[in-house]
Amino acid sequence: MINRFDMAKQTAVLKEVSVKGIGLHNGNKSVVVFKPAPNAEYGIRFVRTDFPNKFEIEAVWSNASSGLTVRGSVIENTGVRIYTIEHIMSACFALGIDNLIVEINNNEPPILNGSAKIFAETLLKGGLKEFDTSRKFYVLKEPVNFFEAGKTRISVYPPDQFEIECTIGFDHPFLWFQQMSLKDLNRIST
């Protein structure tokens, strides 16, 4: 895997690749086509091809929305939504992809194996190209906390170094309590 913090330039996929499967929440057949972005600073944009004019939603904080589930990431623009984009976004982060066109034929990508792994493998098959534009990083200066109904807590702290720690618990014997820690992006496999 590529350590995105070691790369100074923005990247995109080199050629078009695709993946298909069934959406987790809607149960629909879903086809996702990853296409090269035309230029640096393009960002990651999802395009709903089931709309006549191929409705576009940029994957930015201002387009974040609530959706079908409290455990998924949703983007929305003028009432049009795309649900459960988190595995695609995770794959892009892990691979250092800053600019990408993500065409999707309905409102949810396929669940595949339930992780970002197949998305990452698919993107790697497309190859990566580098733009002659420096990558931009956001530096957190103070802690941010999010709490929801006593069940969910997300806390982010200013870093001394890159590190992700995650703890999750469910009221179910198969998923009861899980914890992980990641300090090296080169160790990401899913």
Q: What is the DSSP letter of 80?
A: E
Angle, CA 172 vertex, CA 109 and CA 169 arms, to 5°: 75
Secondary structure (3-state) at 3: coil
pLDDT tens-digit readout, 116-168: 999 999 999 999 999 999 998 878 889 988 877 767 777 888 878 878 888 87
Least confident range of 41-55, 98-112, 156-170, 175-189: 175-189
Average pLDDT over residues 86-97: 94
Q: Are 51 and 80 in contact (CB under 8 A)?
A: yes
Domain boundaries, the chain: 9-134, 144-187
pLDDT tens-digit readout, 9-66: 999 999 999 999 999 989 999 999 999 999 999 999 999 999 999 999 999 989 998 7
Write down the CATH number for the domain with range 9-134: 3.30.230.20
